[in-house]
Chains A and B, each alone.
Chain A
């Protein structure tokens, strides 16, 4: 158990609809990341939040938006859904990296939730 919780685990919806995916990070982690993984594809970075603020952005579509709330949970909103949006959406959280054990700190590795599998019909 990574300590990262994602809901829902599975979601089936129709084209044109809107869905919200939810993520609760590990206790104490301020950073939340969202990734998309289509069938047999690599993990595509969407967006990163730190303590409620957007910090880094990947190739996130304009139809997608995210936010991180004061209690540090995050939501990814997907709208005007298309067939190609069918994928596994992962949320990950991390502590602030501080160089790893070489510097007596932590690596800031990502802890992933189990993912939300979205199917658009």
Chain B
């Protein structure tokens, strides 16, 4: 089966850097995603890793280590609007289909 763990909540200060960790177990690994979800809204795609290493995209970076089943999302120059839930998701290939399983999410509070 698939299992994803990430911290429930984090708090950081505006302008700072925060790292949200995610560990996972899966079979048929086909990529790891990070999504952002504001309360009551749909998740939106932030980043994708399928190979080991760091992917950078503006203020957001994501890292993957497949051997360790580990990823992190790094948010730099935090802004108040970054207060949201961050969802780690793993896609697995399963008998002809792609099953993307989400972690419970990390609720990030950015304070002034």
A-side residues, CB < 8 A to B, are 2, 31, 33, 35, 41-43, 45, 48, 50, 54-56, 58, 88, 90, 94, 97, 99-100, 102, 107-115
**Interface SS majority for chain B:** strand
Q: Complex Cα distance A110/B31, Å? A: 12
The distance in angstroms between the C-alpha atoms of A64 and B99, with both chains bound, is 18
CA distance A107 to B96 in the complex (A): 17
- Report how far A48 CA is from B105 CA in the complex, Å: 21
- B18 an interface residue at 8 Å Cβ cutoff? no
Per the CB 8 Å criterion, the residue count for chain B at the interface is 28
Q: Assuming A42-B102, A97-B98, is B50 touching A102 (CB within 8 A)?
A: yes
Interface string of B19-46 (1 = CB under 8 A from A): 0000000000011010100001111110
Partner of A56 from B43, B87, B94 at Cβ < 8 Å: B94
